[in-house]
Structure 1
Amino acid sequence: MDIRAQEFGTGEAAAGSRQHLVVIGNGMAGCRAIEELLARDPGRYRVTIVGAEPHVNYNRIMLSPVLAGEKTFDEIVINDRAWYDDNRIDLITSDAAEAIDRDAKTVRLGSGRIIAYDKLLIATGSNPFIIPVPGHTLPGVISFRDMNDVGSMLSAAEQGGDAVVIGGGLLGLEAAHGLNLRGMKVTVIHLMPTLMERQLDEAAGWLLKHALEGRGQTILTGADTAEIVGDGKVEGVRLKDGTLIPASIVVMAVGIRPSVALAKQAGLAVGRGIQVDDHMVTSDPDVLAVGECVEHDGQVYGLVAPLWDMCRALADGLTERHTGYKGSVTSTKLKVSGIDVFSAGDFAGGAGAEDIVLRDASRGVYKRVVVANDRLIGAVLYGDTADGGWYFDLMKKGEDVSSFRDMLIFGQSYALGGGQADPKAAVAALSDDAEICGCNGVSKGKVVASIEGGACTLDAVRAICKASASCGSCTGLVETLLAVTLGDDYSGERTTKTMCKCTSFGHDEVRKAIVERGLKEIPEVMQEMSWSTPDGCSSCRPALNYYLLCAWPGEYRDDQQSRFVNERMHANIQKDGTYSVVPRMWGGITNPRELRAIADVVEKYNAPMVKVTGGQRLDIFGIKKDDLPAVWADLNAAGMVSGHAYGKALRTVKTCVGSEWCRFGTQDSTGLGIQLERMSWGSWMPHKFKIAVSGCPRNCAEATIKDFGVICVDSGYELLVGGNGGIKLRGTELLCKVATEQQALDHCAAFIQLYREEARYLDRTAPWIERVGIDYVRQRIVDDEVGREALTARFLYSQSFMQDDPWEKRAAGAERELHSPMGIFQPIALAAE
């Protein structure tokens, strides 16, 4: 049985009679289908999800903001590792499914692994279409479908130069926008005369082209690619009219096709996509399919809203409910390079159709609605899309618009308000099934239910039902619904930043309440402070766990499920799903026994690489998750403990050889570094914490960019704080100068405890000091001797309760005395004594 079965009871024995549902595809459709299934019957199936990428489930709609630098990857993650663990889902990453054996009911992965299933869900999505022009296989020609493509574009942008985007649809324009923001000179080549011709009419397309050109992009419409030129790599694109456009990268964004190769290999019925019925069942009753890879009633969908409808129907079918998928009427509400665009239905017009058009040149607004037989059949909005949801609702329901036809073009608030603009009345008039958030398939009824259930802010609504949590274009609608539903109780968003989407309180308010009200459990905090979600989220639970650990050492029991996966595993997860292990080397010093133990681990567990880190340690890469307990057992046997290279804790103490060996050394910097490390290792902190000790002002250990640094001088030790050597470089500030090692240890302990007690979770020391000021830190630690001693005592007292086994088993007796810093450093009597 593997480690997941041991930890979570997800092996065959624990699964009992539950059927095994295997999902091929860790994308938006596959995971959303499982979310819907869990909402209906969480214990019905044992679930395994197979993904070709190394990542957890993320929002592909938001790749463009990542490329543009507006969001990080972590901010577009939909389901983090904790979601898979909490729901007992076995996630397999970086291992694509290669074959399905329907007779044996198994799936073979690229690694050779065979997985048996009772029910199989194919959610392979779509593949980008690459125009087979000469040169299309040259290095530098990429698509825009996943994080790997984003990484390639970011690497190209770092080098600067020219970029060509082939395709003037949504993805192409977003790729061009991101590369333009990253400093590249961008040319967009589009075969058709109108940008986004499937979504926009000629007038709106011209407005969009004009706006993008005003932002520095070159837009060539009616342009046909002849070849991609280059000697061993991309150098340019030649058009059929002979024009040569220089390029160091070419992004192909000309369309997608359903990914059906796996289904064809398995002998399933395939047309344009994998053919399914109303419950997403394929031609094999034990195989289902959902998302962009499927064909339903002859239709293939490339937008996200139909996917959500499919997922609901699929979950209903798997839980024996009698609804089904009946197809989707699609709309597109987008932000193209920051420009609002909406389209839905048939805007081509035709016999019997009437166009109603509004143009407001000064505001950059264009609106066109198409009416036939007193029914709205199409709409195109540019620059102002606030009424897109209302138009779409009218279209889906086929409502008679004759009574307000003359006001239709001015929007819902005018049309339903008799010519008087009343946005609240307009939103209130929307039906409960009117779509508010297309990205996540959220109706007005769901948003209102979230608000009535206690979500009183925009972030709280986003946390509960996900409305406006993706592209944000429906934010105004959600805020209006908050105002309509809450009335006078809604005062808008808070001016202070909340801790997360689950609460309206900030970090400082939560920490204060924990201490003043004596709150000692995560559920107790959530109950007392009216959390808007039942169990919190991946942002607030780790923070609450830390705050409680800090406030109540010895009383609060560390909640492992509220820790990030790296902290739980005592190892850093890598892009291929394996882990790296970093044992601690005190002050960067090692010995033959430790080196021999590391070498034995590398050979025994087939680790492909060992690397010397910048913190003077050895990092063992490529360890499998199942092997982690045994790896740590072997290292512990040699006296080695975790280096916490993964944790919000002390990471490294970097030292130079100091006076013992160096002719310039003024003090024993190595010895002091080891004392500092043994004193402070294992202490959980708001963020990672690094120390360095340099034996002279030449600063070989780089103490001036650490959280706590020591520069040894002839007369003693200069203590420095608040440095950061990461993305935003920040030099340290002088805290004080002391004469003895013991004083240096005292001041370090006090500084760490002040940081632990007052910084917000995920604050490094640099932003914390920038917020409170170095004078405040000096006053608390240097000027107030009694206060410094109290801080030091509280730090050492909390250290006495640390858990020093990497698998969270408390040591006992002599072993605890050996590893505990309490046995090494006791400058003053503890408060507890």
Structure 2
Amino acid sequence: MSQKPHLIVVGNGMAGCRAVEEILARDPNKFRITIFGSEPRVNYNRIMLSPLLAGEKSFDDIVINSEAWYADNGITLVAGDAIVAVDRAAQTVTSASGRTESYDRLLLATGSDPFIIPVPGKDLPGVITFRDMEDVDKMLAAADAGGDAVVIGGGLLGLEAAHGLALRGMKVTVIHLMPTLMERQLDEAAGWLLKTELERRGQTILTQADTGEVYGDGKVEGVRLKDGTEIPCSIVVMAVGIRPSTGLAKAAGLDVERGILVDDHMMTSDPAVLAVGECVQHRGAVYGLVAPLWEMCRALADSQTGNPSGYTGSVTSTKLKVSGIDVFSAGDFSGGEGCEDIVLRDATRGVYKRVIVKDEKVIGAVLYGDTADGNWYFDLLKKEENIADIREALIFGQAFASGGALSDPKAAVAALSDDAEICGCNGVSKGQVMACVAGGATDLDAVRATCKASASCGSCTGLVENLLALALGDDYSGERTVKTMCKCTSFTHEDVRAAIVEKGLKAIPEVMQEMSWTTPDGCSSCRPALNYYLLCAWPAEHVEDPQSRFVNERMHANIQKDGTYSVVPRMWGGVTTPNELRAIADAADKYGARMVKVTGGQRLDLFGIKKEDLPAIWGDLNAAGMVSGHAYGKALRTVKTCVGSEWCRFGTQDSTGLGIKAEQMTWGSWMPHKFKIAVSGCPRNCAEATIKDFGVICVDSGYELHIGGNGGIHLRGTDFLCKVATEQEALDYCAAFTQLYREEARYLDRTAPWVERVGLDYVKKRIVEDEVGREALRNRFLYAQSFLQVDPWAERASGKESFLHEHIAEIRPFAVVGGAA
């Protein structure tokens, strides 16, 4: 048997690997394949670098082809070793390390290079681009170091870089040469709306601003505009455009103009060399969007496997999330002679729609804020359909234009043609999704795994789910392998938390509207979770929604089986005074408590209090200096201590004092679930610290910290986090761990299942190994504490006030919304 011809792919990016995927789908035995990549990693989704920078995704989340994919398909991956020379006569390539390989077919997928504006200072340390993982790592390091950032370029990449850096805590200024942001995708009106919204979120946007130089002594210190304006900063992100990467092809003697010249079968001037992606020029056009790349890859695979259908060019549309804001554009929106504009503006909803019509055909569209009908307008544009009959309703969308016949979302997607694009990120059409369902996919996760629709940014999730419902009918349950937040939504807890931060959502109705809740007011499952996620994301701005609290939290007491309530005043670290005991005794007598019980958390519980007496009994207790112990709340419950070194002959440290400080620091903080702390004065562990959410074991040389324990039905011992030397370090680690749990756990998750799900190594990486990140978490926790009011009388609580008074001047400058490090 003759050996299979050798296909070498230069470029391990989205275009090169997609071309290989398409070939494998048609004929998995066609080639022996070797892929060379300049980066030392597997293929990943560059479109998702922005969520990676913003902290919304990890690298594993954006991997397209794992190491297993290369191995399973017999592909040799040479990562981190770029091809530097092509010998077309010998049909060989040579890599930077000196490795030489011969080919039968060579595929160039070298992508594009970022454009650096030629201004003085462009080579200073601190000037970076935004094209790959290395750039993201540089930006993350700069954000961790603190300071201000300047982003040059108000296109998509520039705005995404600015958004990510802002979420990382940097003050960001965007400099854009043109009068309108994203002028290639948006008209003037939509660009103005985008600029206004980004400025509302705290970014500084300078349009018609021309960069004169980047200045600094040995490193970036600022940017000077040509009008003399100076903007101090510690990093400059250049995001002014890209150019096809043609150097390798040009050196090999291939025909090159703006890009590598290719025919309809993606063949270069050398029949043995193919090219695809951003590096090519086809019929005079160079494309920088993913949809044309996918079409090129399909045409290339067809031609290499005996079905030369050919690529004839692309009509492009752009459907994007810019800093969490939905925008869409397609076709020609410049207008001009013979063109008519149909415009809808809804200032309250932040929606702008403009459809450009010529000769009763849609030739362009711009949508801002509501892009649900973008695919439909694009379908009309591509097919050049006459819209005279639906002209009056055209701007209101597909459902209205059909006379209401398509008001059902399933009917709307049914009306789309099979070649209508559903997922722009991965180039998936309606026909491909339906074929995926016909092949056995019965839920969203199966579709994502099979054809990748909805697997990247997620903006097409609703369309995919409607197609599932259309194809499967009553057999489609809406259930997902990945657990959704509740029956009211198709999104997970993590999806919702990310959207709240990314889109700046501040109220429950706003979340439900933005994320297309299927019920008008949510349910008893999602409303408390949404209330908590909003509070955690926006501690300074959150407006409490009492109806989204469980009854115990609304009444600030625990309801009992006879309808009365139990009241638990707080005792700091389990320590009380005669005055507090007198106040409790007086309250028990006055309000007829039928039992006074010492709790497992070293407090006194007053049972049998009538509902109507709750405000009065709390008023009396508060007058005596006592506040709620939150025995009812998804909050800090208790800090259990032993007497430690002050009294016990075995005690090694002042465990009682540390416990009181920990309780004063953490009380009043809403959590995903109840949270308990304990401090034991020696390894005998009398305070049972190793079954608490956060436990401290005092030893002669310091403090051993433990996390993720709980008692109850399913007992779980803690995991050892680390050992620290000082009391202050123990408090700092406690604050950081608590905030990480608050920001990342699902509502109603105790720390035990959360730690098991994310892994102890992950928690250690965030809390122990990342000193800067730990400090940021600690600061965010203390900042949030200055706003949270779990208790109706918390503003008068001396314990919390005294602790925060010492720290608030220190922590306010570190405040970052939404939990971004």
Q: TM-score range by the shorter chain?
A: 0.5 to 0.7
Three-state SS of the structure 2 residue aligned to 1:216 is coil
Partner of residue 416, structure 1: 402
Partner of residue 205, structure 1: 191
CA contact (8 A) 1:129 1:257 kept: yes
Partner of residue 719, structure 2: 722
Separation of aligned partners in 2, 1:319 and 1:699: 70
Letter in 2 for 1:359: R
Pair 233,761 (structure 1): closer, same or farther in 2 beyond 3 Å:
closer
The answer as to 2:427 corresponding to 1:436 is: no
Partner of residue 81, structure 1: 67
Letter in 1 for 2:218: G
Separation of aligned partners in 2, 1:349 and 1:422: 33
Separation of aligned partners in 2, 1:269 and 1:138: 35
Three-state SS of the structure 1 residue aligned to 2:197 is helix
Partner of residue 346, structure 1: 332
Letter in 2 for 1:298: G
2:172 to 167, 186, 201: 186
Letter in 2 for 1:239: L
The answer as to 2:118 corresponding to 1:132 is: yes
2:258 to 272, 291, 296: 272
The answer as to 2:54 corresponding to 1:57 is: no
1:45 to 7, 31, 50: 31
Partner of residue 469, structure 1: 455
The Cα of 1:493 is off from its aligned counterpart by 3.5
2:130 to 144, 159, 167: 144
Separation of aligned partners in 1, 2:78 and 2:191: 43
Q: Does 81-90 or 455-464 show the bigger shift?
A: 455-464
TM-score scaled by length of structure 1: 0.60
2:163 to 154, 168, 177: 177
1:455 to 441, 454, 457: 441
Letter in 2 for 1:330: T
Separation of aligned partners in 1, 2:393 and 2:707: 64
Partner of residue 116, structure 1: 102
Pair 412,108 (structure 1): closer, same or farther in 2 beyond 3 Å:
same
Pair 208,707 (structure 1): closer, same or farther in 2 beyond 3 Å:
closer
Pair 395,725 (structure 1): closer, same or farther in 2 beyond 3 Å:
farther
The Cα of 1:464 is off from its aligned counterpart by 1.1
State how 1:521-670 maps to structure 2 within 5 Å.
none
CA contact (8 A) 1:704 1:720 kept: no
Separation of aligned partners in 2, 1:497 and 1:698: 46
Pair 766,91 (structure 1): closer, same or farther in 2 beyond 3 Å:
closer
Three-state SS of the structure 1 residue aligned to 2:720 is coil
Letter in 2 for 1:156: A
Separation of aligned partners in 1, 2:387 and 2:159: 35
Three-state SS of the structure 2 residue aligned to 1:406 is helix
State how 1:620-769 maps to structure 2 within 5 Å.
697-698=699-700, 704=705, 721-725=718-722, 763-764=759-760
Pair 83,729 (structure 1): closer, same or farther in 2 beyond 3 Å:
farther
Partner of residue 227, structure 2: 241
Separation of aligned partners in 2, 1:20 and 1:69: 40
Three-state SS of the structure 2 residue aligned to 1:238 is strand
CA contact (8 A) 1:705 1:730 kept: no
Three-state SS of the structure 2 residue aligned to 1:724 is strand
Partner of residue 363, structure 1: 349
Separation of aligned partners in 2, 1:367 and 1:421: 19
The answer as to 2:393 corresponding to 1:407 is: yes
The Cα of 1:246 is off from its aligned counterpart by 0.6
The answer as to 2:320 corresponding to 1:337 is: no
Deviations 1:204-263 (A, max 9, x none): 000000000000000000000011110100000001111000110000000000000000
Three-state SS of the structure 2 residue aligned to 1:723 is strand
Separation of aligned partners in 1, 2:341 and 2:722: 60
CA contact (8 A) 1:417 1:425 kept: no
Pair 201,75 (structure 1): closer, same or farther in 2 beyond 3 Å:
same
Partner of residue 621, structure 1: none
- Unpaired runs of at least 5, structure 1: 1-14, 507-663, 667-694, 709-718, 734-755, 768-833
Letter in 1 for 2:168: R
Deviations 1:628-648 (A, max 9, x none): xxxxxxxxxxxxxxxxxxxxx
Pair 221,385 (structure 1): closer, same or farther in 2 beyond 3 Å:
same
Separation of aligned partners in 2, 1:454 and 1:167: 45
Partner of residue 295, structure 2: 309
Separation of aligned partners in 1, 2:197 and 2:707: 46
The answer as to 2:21 corresponding to 1:24 is: no
CA contact (8 A) 2:342 2:356 kept: yes
CA contact (8 A) 2:445 2:481 kept: no
Number of aligned residues:
529
Pair 766,51 (structure 1): closer, same or farther in 2 beyond 3 Å:
closer
Letter in 2 for 1:176: A
Separation of aligned partners in 1, 2:441 and 2:126: 47
Deviations 1:47-67 (A, max 9, x none): 100000011000000000000
Partner of residue 517, structure 2: none
Separation of aligned partners in 1, 2:308 and 2:14: 24
CA contact (8 A) 1:130 1:254 kept: yes
Three-state SS of the structure 2 residue aligned to 1:48 is strand
Letter in 2 for 1:225: T
Letter in 2 for 1:138: L
The answer as to 2:391 corresponding to 1:379 is: no
Separation of aligned partners in 2, 1:140 and 1:356: 46
Deviations 1:753-775 (A, max 9, x none): xxx999978744999xxxxxxxx
Partner of residue 256, structure 1: 242
The Cα of 1:471 is off from its aligned counterpart by 1.3
CA contact (8 A) 1:723 1:765 kept: no
The answer as to 2:489 corresponding to 1:492 is: no
Separation of aligned partners in 2, 1:197 and 1:238: 23
Pair 457,286 (structure 1): closer, same or farther in 2 beyond 3 Å:
same
CA contact (8 A) 1:412 1:426 kept: yes
The answer as to 2:305 corresponding to 1:298 is: no
Separation of aligned partners in 2, 1:390 and 1:45: 39
Letter in 2 for 1:321: N
The answer as to 2:197 corresponding to 1:215 is: no
Letter in 2 for 1:153: M
State how 1:806-825 maps to structure 2 within 5 Å.
none
The Cα of 1:729 is off from its aligned counterpart by 6.2
Q: Does 757-766 or 394-403 show the bigger shift?
A: 757-766
The answer as to 2:270 corresponding to 1:284 is: yes
Letter in 2 for 1:252: M
Three-state SS of the structure 1 residue aligned to 2:721 is coil
The Cα of 1:400 is off from its aligned counterpart by 1.1
CA contact (8 A) 2:113 2:243 kept: yes
The Cα of 1:697 is off from its aligned counterpart by 3.6
Separation of aligned partners in 1, 2:482 and 2:360: 49
Letter in 2 for 1:152: K
Pair 230,453 (structure 1): closer, same or farther in 2 beyond 3 Å:
same
The Cα of 1:486 is off from its aligned counterpart by 2.1
Letter in 1 for 2:720: G
Pair 300,407 (structure 1): closer, same or farther in 2 beyond 3 Å:
same
Letter in 1 for 2:54: A
Three-state SS of the structure 2 residue aligned to 1:356 is strand
Pair 311,706 (structure 1): closer, same or farther in 2 beyond 3 Å:
same
Separation of aligned partners in 1, 2:270 and 2:289: 26
Pair 730,242 (structure 1): closer, same or farther in 2 beyond 3 Å:
closer
Deviations 1:105-160 (A, max 9, x none): 11111111111111100000000000000110101001000000000000000011
Letter in 2 for 1:221: T
Separation of aligned partners in 1, 2:706 and 2:311: 58
The Cα of 1:497 is off from its aligned counterpart by 2.3
